Structures are given as C-alpha cells and as structure tokens.
Amino acid sequence: MRLSKRRATTLNRRARFLHQHRKQRGTLPCLETGGTQVYAYWSCGEGLVVSVHLDTGEVPGDLISPDGTIAIRITVNSECVFSAG
C-alpha cells in the first residue's frame, strides 16, 4: 500500500496520545493514529513493552488492503525488525 504524502500528513496530525489514568489502573499509555492503537509502557520484570492493535474497528477503509490486512513496518533504533503488507 502506498499512501500519498498528504494522506500520511493528515493521519499523523490527527494522532493523539492517551496517558495512563491514575484512577483507572488498567489503562496504559497509548498513541492512536489512523484508527490503530500503539501501546508503549514499562512492565515490571519485562522492561519496555510495545503492543500494536490494528483490530479497533476504526481503521479507515483506504488503509486496509483488499485481503483485509494493514501494511506495517516496525523499527528499533532505525533498523527495520518487522515488515508486512
């Protein structure tokens, strides 16, 4: 899938950060963008955990390929460690 520069910019500008709530202990820090959710948090005994959720039901149709998948690339320190779609 190839996004136009304009579409990518629009999605990035609409991104929002959801912080962990003090009163709701089960919540975790989350970035929402393009209908997806990316959680990044510290876990006792595990260290840094990054969890990507693509199944929110809010991903716009133009971001979903005909086979129902979403293109994703994950990098760590600028090195691609996973790519699909």
Reported as a pLDDT band with limits 50, 70 and 90, residue 20 is: confident
Reported as a pLDDT band with limits 50, 70 and 90, residue 22 is: confident
Q: What's the length of the chain?
A: 85
Question: What pLDDT is recorded for position 24?
Answer: 76
User: What's the whole-model pTM score?
Assistant: 0.83
Reported as a pLDDT band with limits 50, 70 and 90, residue 21 is: confident
Q: Read out DSSP for 52-72? A: EE--SS---GGGS-TTS---E
- Domain with 29 in it: 5-84
User: What's the sign of the alpha-carbon dihedral 38, 79, 14, 3?
Assistant: negative
Reported as a pLDDT band with limits 50, 70 and 90, residue 42 is: very high
Phi, psi dihedral angles at 30 (to 5 degrees): -145, 140
Distance CA 22, CA 2 (A): 39
CB neighbours (10 Å) of residue 34? 21
The residues that bridge with 77 in the sheet, in sequence order, are none
Reported as a pLDDT band with limits 50, 70 and 90, residue 4 is: very high
Question: Helix, strand or coil for residue 40?
Answer: strand
User: Per the structure, how many domains does the chain have?
Assistant: 1
